[in-house]
A and B are shown apart, each in its own frame.
Chain A
């Protein structure tokens, strides 16, 4: 109960701070261009203050007593892996990156069935290639790794 109340207080406080920061950004603009954003930020500030006061005043009825993160470790791992994937695939090619990404992601998160992992990666990569490259003729980043290994062609 206590924890849930704190969570809303923190969120409301962040919103109040955010609207103040946004206001500083908005007043740097000419008045005519920032009329509407200023209006929005002022309203946001007002509502955030109401939200803050309300969450300090009384704890909200608890709909679910579950913790904020169900599993912070796995969440962070997932985020890091997704970011790496997004960083790499425009450089080494979509299919190379995806073929590696799917089993690595599932393995790290906790799925350890090697056969299914490999089968899933192969099936997904091949069907994505057939649908998007062969059928739809979509242009994707060149598969640098494949062409380096097999010498062009890919």
Chain B
């Protein structure tokens, strides 16, 4: 039994290391693109829609999307950090999730464990309020919060989530305090806002905007400086003078030590995918906000958010130890 197992594992290793040294003609075998969330989620949909275009623009490479959900993506990111840096194991990262899970948990990877490649989308978070609340603009909400600190109820996915930290970042930018009401997910938060059980909530613009269009809730602004292409009439908190830039940034990363040559090939494939009119059409159908950043810009953005969060954590750690 033991003999059989060891024999089998050796043969598996032998198989996987064959192509590891041939980089100039990368890729020569199947590339695994890991997604840290279940199939059917936003990130998974993006991966599966981009996959055929990446294959096309990487010279007919064979890419397969694999779901490794767990711990808000941390399970996949830990695996990615420990994977062979040969360009055959890639991950689709979602910021700020990659950074937020590092605080207060048992996660043992660092943002330095990855090489960053191109990004696909940036979708800002937004604040929506119930239709029977008096708030129409970002200024209204901030003024109300200033008058009654810590009483205006704002919902969003659990403590430490992107939505929760969005509220934290806004609180610091506008120097006010809200009462944050954590909920299991965005759908539950939206029900609570629409039912009038809480005053407002935070979620990405594409999901809040649907509620806005159907008059079930009102989106008062996005947490960004520039207006979005899907919802151009929605104001931004940046315009109102509060400096926030908070949203979901999604791009590809590889384990640290992946050769530059390989990284360049991947980034180029992402760039060409983004320019592909067919992909742009699919993205428009799915309300995706395409934003291309190269590896350096992506990494800079990750580092910026990480240092911002470290600052907040040092001031007021949001998870009780």
**Is A–B contact present in the complex under a CB 8 A cutoff?**
yes
Binding site for B on A (CB under 8 A): 30, 32-33, 84, 88, 91-92, 139, 144-145, 147-148
- Show 14 residue pairs from A and B whose CB-CB distance is below 8 angstroms, ordered by the A residue: A30-B320, A30-B321, A32-B320, A88-B5, A91-B5, A91-B9, A91-B12, A139-B64, A144-B11, A144-B12, A145-B11, A147-B15, A148-B11, A148-B15
A33-B64 Cα distance, complex, nearest whole Å: 39
Query: Which 10 A-B pairs give the minimum distances between C-beta atoms?
Result: A30-B320, A148-B11, A144-B12, A92-B8, A91-B8, A144-B11, A144-B8, A139-B64, A32-B320, A91-B12
A91-B11 Cα distance, complex, nearest whole Å: 10
Determine whether the beta carbon of B320 is less than 8 Å from that of A33: yes
A145-B12 Cα distance, complex, nearest whole Å: 9
Residue of B nearest to A149 (CB): B11
Binding site for A on B (CB under 8 A): 1, 5, 8-9, 11-12, 15, 64, 66, 320-321
Determine whether the beta carbon of A144 is less than 8 Å from that of B15: yes
Residue of B nearest to A31 (CB): B320
A136 to chain B, nearest CB (A): 13
A33-B321 Cα distance, complex, nearest whole Å: 10
A130-B96 Cα distance, complex, nearest whole Å: 41
In the bound complex, residues from chain B placing their C-beta under 8 Å from that of A30 are: 320-321
In the bound complex, residues from chain A placing their C-beta under 8 Å from that of B320 are: 30, 32-33
In the bound complex, residues from chain A placing their C-beta under 8 Å from that of B8 are: 88, 91-92, 144-145
Having A33-B320, A91-B5, one finds 19 other A-B pairs with CB under 8 Å, namely A30-B320, A30-B321, A32-B320, A84-B1, A88-B5, A88-B8, A91-B8, A91-B9, A91-B12, A92-B8, A139-B64, A144-B8, A144-B12, A144-B15, A145-B8, A145-B11, A147-B15, A148-B11, A148-B15
A88-B8 Cα distance, complex, nearest whole Å: 10
A90 to chain B, nearest CB (A): 10
In the bound complex, residues from chain A placing their C-beta under 8 Å from that of B9 are: 91
A30-B9 Cα distance, complex, nearest whole Å: 43
In the bound complex, residues from chain B placing their C-beta under 8 Å from that of A92 are: 8
In the bound complex, residues from chain B placing their C-beta under 8 Å from that of A145 are: 8, 11
A81 to chain B, nearest CB (A): 12
B10 to chain A, nearest CB (A): 10
In the bound complex, residues from chain A placing their C-beta under 8 Å from that of B5 are: 88, 91
In the bound complex, residues from chain B placing their C-beta under 8 Å from that of A91 are: 5, 8-9, 12
B164 to chain A, nearest CB (A): 15
B203 to chain A, nearest CB (A): 24
B148 to chain A, nearest CB (A): 24
Residue of B nearest to A87 (CB): B5
In the bound complex, residues from chain A placing their C-beta under 8 Å from that of B64 are: 139
In the bound complex, residues from chain B placing their C-beta under 8 Å from that of A33 are: 320
Residue of B nearest to A92 (CB): B8
A33-B320 Cα distance, complex, nearest whole Å: 9
B12 to chain A, nearest CB (A): 5
A30-B320 Cα distance, complex, nearest whole Å: 7
A88-B11 Cα distance, complex, nearest whole Å: 14
Residue of A nearest to B67 (CB): A139
A84-B1 Cα distance, complex, nearest whole Å: 10
In the bound complex, residues from chain A placing their C-beta under 8 Å from that of B66 are: 139
Residue of B nearest to A91 (CB): B8
A32-B15 Cα distance, complex, nearest whole Å: 50
A58-B56 Cα distance, complex, nearest whole Å: 74
B122 to chain A, nearest CB (A): 30
In the bound complex, residues from chain B placing their C-beta under 8 Å from that of A144 are: 8, 11-12, 15
A92-B66 Cα distance, complex, nearest whole Å: 18
A92 to chain B, nearest CB (A): 5
A73 to chain B, nearest CB (A): 20
In the bound complex, residues from chain A placing their C-beta under 8 Å from that of B321 are: 30
A121 to chain B, nearest CB (A): 19
A147-B9 Cα distance, complex, nearest whole Å: 13
A33-B1 Cα distance, complex, nearest whole Å: 45
In the bound complex, residues from chain B placing their C-beta under 8 Å from that of A148 are: 11, 15
A145 to chain B, nearest CB (A): 7
